[in-house]
């Protein structure tokens, strides 16, 4: 039933109530009091924000992650949903850094945090302080999804695997400095091949920031130079403990490494994403140390065998060649060239003597010509002219050939046969 009231002044209609019967339910619509204060959008949003945030300050919400996005700022944005509803969620960078895993599409998780309102859009969202996968099954699911993704991109292809050097000189190690893994590696390599230089890059191998540290250490060992291969790993643990080696950032760092990488994570039954990307997977850190260096006792024995074989081979070769040379020296074909050579040597000696005689005769003739020319030159030398009573007059180093070139009081230089004197010109 619809009832309306009006007056000639306001022409206002008041809907007092509407009663509708639909499937046995009654709905009553009432108009708010017209004396209620009028609020702006910002004011009503702020009031809603205060009510929601006060009433839902500590909540734990479970759901499936979708629309996951890691912003360049480091903040995480995603949606939690179930079969009926969905809830927008945000995890700020400072909190996201504490995650030991990377959220995946479709992963079921429990988010701890508080409800907040994003006033710009008037949307409410879950401000996540802690995010946990719902059991080991979800981590295993995330593992399989990332494994499938990286495999489709070719990160596990055998064509990309690099061979390990048979005799490395410097080995980089990426692991915890306090764990059992580093001690096992040092002990095994020290026993098998102590000549190798070990370079440890200490990192966290589990917990917050472990994956980032491992990836950065792999890059650093590539930048150092001179590293022949590296071992990346840790001792055994639960799936959560080993999760840093299942992170995409570690997988891509291993794939991009120019230095061969040996993955040594956990025990023989443990498999991580790092194992599939690495150039070689070792079941344990100790096994990795066994694989990357040879046994020095076997190397020494091998060298001894090589030396013995080489020595015998050289002796046999020398004996065979010596006999061949002896036979050759006794042969006519070898001695005939020697006889011909001696004849040529004698002929050369004769030619040399003839050349020396011809050269001596030529030198004597040339010497006589030189002496004759020397006498002629000496006869026309200016000094010989001066000895006959002539002299040279110079002014400022220039020879004066005419009296008219001289002037009163000019300083002149007079060169005679026995020396030089100076004078002044007078008219």
Instruction: Please report the pLDDT score of residue 33 as a whole number.
Output: 63
109 neighbors 89 (Cβ within 8 angstroms): no
The closest of 233, 253, 228, 254 to 171, measured between CA atoms, is 228
H-type alpha helices, 161-284:
180-192, 210-224, 248-256, 273-277
- Tens digits of residue pLDDT in 306-339: 888 898 899 889 988 888 888 877 777 666 777 7
| Average pLDDT rounded to a whole number, residues 79-85 | 88
Q: Per-residue pLDDT for 186 more than 90? A: yes
Q: Per-residue pLDDT for 208 more than 90? A: no
249 neighbors 120 (Cβ within 8 angstroms): no
201 pLDDT band (50/70/90 cuts)? very high
d(CA 329, CA 323): 10
Among 174-183, 231-240, 282-291, the least confident range: 231-240
Instruction: Please report the pLDDT score of residue 137 as a whole number.
Output: 67
- Tens digits of residue pLDDT in 333-364: 666 777 788 888 888 988 998 899 999 999 99
Region(s) of the chain under CATH 2.40.50.140: 42-143
Can you give the pTM of this predicted structure? 0.51
Q: How many CB atoms neighbour CB 280 within 10 A?
A: 19
Region(s) of the chain under CATH 3.40.50.261: 155-294
- Tens digits of residue pLDDT in 371-422: 888 888 877 777 777 777 888 888 888 988 888 888 888 888 988 878 889 8
For 239, how many CA atoms within 13 A lie in the half-sphere containing its CB?
12
Instruction: Please report the pLDDT score of residue 17 as a whole number.
Output: 34
Question: Per CATH, the architecture of 42-143 is what?
Answer: Beta Barrel (2.40)
Q: Per-residue pLDDT for 8 more than 50? A: no
Instruction: Please report the pLDDT score of residue 231 as a whole number.
Output: 96
DSSP letters along 309-376, please?
Answer: HHHHHHHHHHHHHHHHHHHHHHSHHHHHHHHHHHHHHHHHHHHHHHHHHHHHHHHHHHHHHHHHHHHH
Q: Tell me what the pLDDT averaged over the chain comes to.
A: 84
| Average pLDDT rounded to a whole number, residues 113-122 | 86
Instruction: Please report the pLDDT score of residue 153 as a whole number.
Output: 92
H-type alpha helices, 193-244:
210-224
Domain at 155-294, CATH from 3.40.50.920, 3.40.50.300, 3.40.50.261, 3.30.70.270: 3.40.50.261
């Amino acid at each position: 039933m619809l009832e309306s009231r009006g007056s000639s002044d306001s022409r206002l209609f008041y809907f007092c109530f509407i009663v509708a019967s639909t499937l046995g339910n009654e709905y009553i619509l009432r108009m708010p009091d017209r004396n209620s204060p009028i609020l702006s959008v910002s004011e009503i949003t702020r009031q809603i924000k205060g009510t929601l945030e006060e009433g839902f300050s500590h909540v734990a919400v479970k759901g499936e992650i979708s629309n996951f996005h890691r912003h360049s700022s480091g903040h995480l944005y995603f949606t939690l949903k179930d079969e009926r509803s969905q809830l927008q969620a945000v995890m700020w960078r400072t909190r996201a850094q504490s995650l030991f895993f990377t959220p995946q599409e479709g992963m079921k998780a429990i988010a701890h945090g508080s409800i907040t309102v994003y006033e710009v859009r008037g949307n409410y969202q879950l401000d996540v302080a802690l995010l946990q996968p719902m059991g080991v099954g979800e981590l295993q699911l995330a593992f399989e999804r990332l494994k499938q993704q990286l495999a489709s991109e070719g990160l596990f292809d055998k064509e990309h695997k690099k061979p390990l050097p048979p005799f490395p000189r410097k080995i980089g190690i990426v692991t915890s400095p306090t764990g059992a893994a580093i001690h096992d590696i040092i002990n095994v390599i020290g026993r098998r091949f102590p000549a190798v230089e070990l370079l440890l890059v200490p990192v966290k191998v589990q917990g917050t920031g472990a994956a980032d540290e491992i990836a950065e250490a792999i890059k650093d060992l590539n930048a150092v130079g001179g590293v022949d291969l590296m071992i990346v790993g840790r001792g055994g643990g639960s799936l959560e403990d080993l999760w840093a080696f299942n992170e995409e950032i570690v997988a891509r760092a291993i794939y991009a490494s120019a230095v061969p990488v040996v993955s040594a994570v956990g025990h023989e039954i443990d498999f991580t994403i790092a194992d599939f990307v690495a150039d070689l997977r070792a079941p344990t850190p100790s096994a990795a140390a066994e694989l990357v260096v040879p046994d020095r006792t076997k190397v020494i024995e091998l060298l001894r065998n090589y030396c013995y074989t080489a020595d015998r081979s050289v002796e046999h070769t020398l004996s065979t060649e010596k006999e061949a040379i002896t036979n050759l020296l006794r042969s006519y074909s070898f001695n005939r060239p020697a006889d011909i050579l001696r004849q040529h040597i004698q002929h050369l000696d004769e030619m040399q003597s003839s050349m020396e005689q011809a050269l001596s005769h030529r030198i004597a003739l040339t010497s006589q010509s030189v002496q004759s020319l020397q006498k002629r030159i000496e006869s026309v030398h200016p000094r010989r002219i001066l000895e006959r009573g002539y002299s040279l007059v110079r002014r400022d180093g220039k020879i004066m050939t005419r009296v008219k070139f001289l002037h009163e009081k000019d300083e002149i230089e007079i060169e005679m046969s026995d020396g030089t004197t100076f004078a002044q010109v007078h008219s």
